[in-house]
Amino acid sequence: MKKWTKEIEINAPIEQVWKFLDGSVENMQQIMPQVVEQKPIKITEEVVGSVYRQKYREGKRTEEYDIETLEYSNATNEKKLKVGFTLAKMFDITAFYELNKINDNKTSFTYTVTNRPLKWFVKLFLLFATDKVVVEFLERVKNVAEAETSRE
Residue 123 pLDDT: 78
**101-148, pLDDT tens digit by residue?**
999 999 999 999 999 999 888 777 777 777 888 899 999 999 999 998
Residue 129 pLDDT: 75
**44-88, pLDDT tens digit by residue?**
999 999 999 999 888 898 889 999 999 999 999 999 999 999 988
Higher-pLDDT residue of 24 and 16 is: 16
The whole model's pTM is what? 0.90
3 state SS for the chain: CEEEEEEEEECCCHHHHHHHHCCCHHHHHHHCCCEEEEEEEECCCCCCCCEEEEEEEECCEEEEEEEEEEEEEECCCEEEEEEEEEECCCEEEEEEEEEEEEECCEEEEEEEEEEEECCHHHHHHHHCCCCHHHHHHHHHHHHHHHHHHHHC
